[in-house]
Amino acid sequence: MSLVGKKAPLFNAPAVINGEEIVENFSLEQFIGKKEVVFFFYPKDFTFVCPTEILAFQSKLAEFEKRNVAVVGCSTDTEETHLAWLMTAKDKGGIEGVTYPIVADTSKTIATNFGVLGGDYSYDEEGNLEFNGAPIAFRGTFLIDKEGVVRHEVVNFFPIGRSIDEELRTVDAWQYVQKYGEVCPADWEAGQDAMKATREGVAEYLSKH
């Protein structure tokens, strides 16, 4: 089920911050009332599509920060594995230079609560616990507002990388709606016309486009 319009699940978990420091109790609650958050999941450290996404977020980090938005990553790997990957050079397949937090969801409870774990636990006929699917996270991305409510989510299957520019566009649209009380039509980008959420507003917008 979608989390849009609902409070983002709470958690406390280890994370690597500033690309070099492990903290034991990282939480998104620190941003409540202060910043919006783009919280994203990726499947595995030391893989293929994942570093392209993580480094793409880093390359646009200043754009998110300019909008007062925190970026936080998460996978089911350990914090030690995160740190090792962060200490590995890009030309060796690493993500050296990434500075935003990366959370370690080793219990898989965060991915489960956000609805992005790639499978499910169940019991076989003999009562043994088993896992069906892949025990790692899909490429889920969540925009969480300053009140801790999810306002946007998108989930990609493992081989499909996400668009960081689309996440920035979504942030811009959400912040525009909050500031001006208008709504953003299809393919809206910052600087373009929005419209009033009335029949007259829609008619006026469509007559110009």
* Positions marked active-site: 50
What would the two tokens of residue 197 be? 């959420």
Helix (H, G, I), strand (E, B) or coil at 13: strand
Q: Which of 156, 151, 163, 122 is nearest to 140 (CA)?
A: 156
Phi, psi of 119 (to 5 degrees): 180, -170
State the Rg of the chain over Cα: 19
Residue that has been written with the tokens 């219990």 in this structure: 107
**Element of type H or E holding 92:** none
Whether 32 contacts 146, CB under 8 Å: yes
Q: Give the C-alpha separation, 195 to 184, whole Å.
A: 7
What would the two tokens of residue 24 be? 């034991």
